């Protein structure tokens, strides 16, 4: 007797998803509620749990296929773990002699595949493993449930050049003939497709404009250095710069509410709360989980929320609730070394604050040229709703609050 595995309800207004990865192979034992597949929706990855315990049956759809909510994607057969356990072991043992054979390209590719037979690898990770000649069984995965990510494979290749050197012998064979040009076509993930559509829509719909300023980070850095150890000891989280900027945005939004508003039809919706979308880098692209009621949160609460979102994004465990809503976005390109950029708003929001790297630059203070740690700030906004005067005023308030953090405490 078999039990059908169906696509679960994915969230409000979401009717389909892409089957991103099978986490269990046919013939493997599965426990009830154990993840057997990963689905990619417009916003996050969702795992499909096994409805019952048993043996993984045949797939009804392949990786990369689009599936609707309620569709049957596989089956679970009756059986025990003991009956299925030897199968993967035997399968894994078979290819190993091939890995010791000589240099033909198919044999070289078979080695990592054999070593990885017990590991659920996404197509992109499996391809990277083959290209770099890395043994995936020797890499500690940082993804959900210990699965490997592309970053894990790249880091392992950089950390162990000696181990990767044998693959260099096969690399010329792939690259031959000399000067040959190669192309690779990879289907866009559903998340990347959604990001592309939303950003293009923002450019076509909103009247985008960006205003810039710079701020002296000396006081914030000094404050952070002075209290970071006590802060971490008391609250169990590191004191970063995002807490200061989130507080500064909350302060500025009170004086310039249009920056925290949205256009809906022929109406403007003003919010008396601040839900900050924090741009976080995830394996499949940029995501923006929401810190809700950030204006009413303490520094520790803000830093904890952002740290939790960062960890969840890395493991692909962000939920729909984590991603929904948001009235303003803060994007920190400085962590990647960006000096200056023009960020794009996250519709239906009307503004986004872009942070950049901190760099020592000469500035004039009291008639003398001194060196200060400076950061460029960029505010992109929808000119249909926000006037230039309001945008400049908002950014000026943020700048003043960062340069004099005491303003955050006395509401100036």
Residue positions annotated with a catalytic role? 383, 387
Alpha carbons 250 and 253: distance in angstroms, whole number: 5
Look at the block and give the residue holding tokens 């953090």: 405
CB within 8 Å of 22: residues ≥ 6 apart = 36, 37, 59, 63, 120
Alpha carbons 151 and 283: distance in angstroms, whole number: 8
Beta bridge partners of 208: 382
Cα–Cα distances (Å) from 316 to 191, 249, 398, in that order, read 12, 28, 32
Alpha carbons 59 and 188: distance in angstroms, whole number: 22
Half-sphere exposure of 328 (CA within 13 A, CB side): 32
Cα torsion angle, 258, 260, 263, 268, sign = negative
For the CA atoms of 145, 150, 151, 152, what is the dihedral angle to 10 degrees?
Answer: 50
Give the DSSP per-residue string, 21-40: EESS-TT-EE-TT-EEEEEE
CB 2, CB 77: distance < 8 Å:
yes
Residue 258, SS3 per DSSP: helix
Q: Is 277 exposed, middle or buried (0-12, 13-18, 19+ CB in 10 A)?
A: buried
Q: Which residues of 120-159 are buried (b: 16+ CB within 10 A; e: fewer)?
A: bbbebbbebbbebbbbbeebebebbeebbbbebbeebbee
Query: Cβ–Cβ contacts within 10 Å for residue 267, how many?
Result: 7
């Amino acid at each position: 007797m078999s039990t059908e595995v169906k696509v679960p309800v994915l969230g409000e207004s979401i009717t389909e998803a892409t089957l991103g990865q099978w986490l269990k192979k046919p013939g493997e034992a599965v426990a009830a509620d154990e993840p057997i597949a990963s689905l990619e929706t417009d916003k996050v990855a969702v795992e499909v749990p096994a409805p019952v315990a048993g043996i993984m049956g045949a797939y009804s759809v392949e990786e990369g296929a689009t599936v609707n909510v309620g569709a049957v994607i596989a089956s679970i057969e009756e059986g025990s773990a003991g009956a299925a356990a030897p199968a993967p072991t035997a399968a894994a043992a078979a290819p190993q002699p091939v890995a010791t054979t000589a240099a033909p390209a198919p044999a070289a590719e078979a080695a990592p595949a054999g070593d990885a037979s017990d590991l659920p690898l996404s197509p992109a990770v499996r391809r990277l493993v083959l290209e770099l000649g890395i043994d995936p069984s020797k890499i500690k995965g940082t993804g959900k449930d210990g699965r490997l990510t592309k970053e894990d494979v790249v880091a392992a290749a950089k950390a162990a050049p000696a181990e990767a050197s044998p693959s260099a012998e096969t690399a010329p064979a792939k690259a031959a003939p000399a000067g040959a040009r190669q192309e690779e076509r990879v289907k866009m993930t559903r998340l990347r497709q959604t990001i592309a559509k939303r950003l293009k829509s923002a450019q076509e719909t909103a009247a985008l404009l960006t205003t810039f300023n710079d701020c002296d980070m000396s006081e914030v850095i000094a404050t952070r250095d002075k209290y970071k150890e006590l802060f971490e000891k008391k609250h169990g989280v590191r004191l970063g710069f995002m807490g200061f900027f989130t507080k500064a945005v909350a302060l500025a939004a009170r004086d310039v509410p249009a920056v925290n508003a949205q256009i809906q039809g022929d109406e403007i919706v003003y919010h008396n709360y601040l839900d900050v979308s924090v741009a976080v880098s995830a394996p499949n692209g940029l995501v923006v989980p929401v810190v809700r009621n950030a204006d009413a949160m303490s520094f520790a609460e803000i830093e904890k929320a952002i740290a939790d979102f960062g960890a969840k994004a890395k493991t692909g465990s962000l939920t729909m609730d984590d991603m929904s809503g948001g009235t303003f976005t803060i994007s920190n390109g400085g962590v990647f070394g960006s000096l200056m950029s023009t960020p794009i708003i996250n519709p239906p929001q009307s503004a986004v604050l872009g942070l950049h790297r901190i760099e020592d630059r000469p500035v004039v203070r009291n008639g003398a040229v001194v060196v200060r740690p400076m950061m460029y700030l960029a505010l992109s906004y929808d000119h249909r709703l926000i006037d230039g005067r309001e945008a400049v005023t908002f950014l000026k308030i943020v700048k003043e609050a960062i340069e004099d953090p005491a303003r955050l405490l006395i509401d100036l």
